[in-house]
Amino acid sequence: MESRDQGLGAADSGSGVGCSDLRKRILLACLVGISVTPAMAKGDNVNEGQMSIDVRVYNYARVADGRLTQAERGAAEVFRAAEVGITWVNCQLPQDSRCSSPLDPTHVGVRILTDLGLTPSTTNRTMGYAVGDLASLSLRRVQADAAEFRVALESVLSPALAHEIGHLLLASQGHSSSGIMRARWRREDYERAPRGALRFTSRQAETIRTEIRRRTQNQTATESAATTRANGKVH
């Protein structure tokens, strides 16, 4: 894709995920979040000693629970291979107290929509985009790829989730020539995914771990400073 910030491209029969402009960040920033935390044991997808993230998912498109769970497990495997643990928080709509906090430097988000609609930065084949701290996915495009390549819906949704979260955590929004951050995928990529075809490169994995560490340290420092100021006012 032409834009530096775009996700999976749609120039051929592969998956298409593009990124929108910064104006959407203002509109959407408070909707969903993914909490970045230091290495802690958090459920089945996190091993002791790993950096870890908690992902809030807003399933506006109402993907069946079983399919969404399978997709999340697959995406978690992609991050586990990068030595990053991931725990999913499936927010209950329209309100869920677990997902009510606004986005901040340690929170990014994923929402699954029926469709994305057309914008100057997307096309009819765009599967999703990642802007600032928020990623969005089109169920229509996921379904279309699943039908075109004759694979299960979760086989497309899983790497799409990992790809867009990858964009949110990588310092660069560019694409690689192989693996999960390729601009386009084909049927053989989906078929080989269980054998590790769709993974982060070693450099991308290191960048993600470094970014999680940086965000966590910055947030800790911010919270500490806020506590110090609050205590100063009390005394």
Domain segments of the chain: what residues?
23-234
At 84 the three-state DSSP class reads strand
What confidence score (pLDDT) does residue 10 get? 43
Token pair, residue 11, equals 């120039």
Preceding omega of 159 cis (within 30 degrees of 0): no
Token pair, residue 145, equals 């790829």
What confidence score (pLDDT) does residue 2 get? 28
What confidence score (pLDDT) does residue 137 get? 96
* pTM metric for this prediction: 0.80
Side chain identity at 235, as an amino acid letter? H
What confidence score (pLDDT) does residue 34 get? 41
Token pair, residue 179, equals 């693996």
Assigned architecture for domain 23-234: 3-Layer(aba) Sandwich (3.40)
What confidence score (pLDDT) does residue 235 get? 52
Residues of the chain falling short of pLDDT 70: 1-49, 103-105, 171, 173, 233-235
What confidence score (pLDDT) does residue 136 get? 94
What confidence score (pLDDT) does residue 205 get? 94
Contact in structure between 68 and 170 (CB atoms under 8 Å)? no
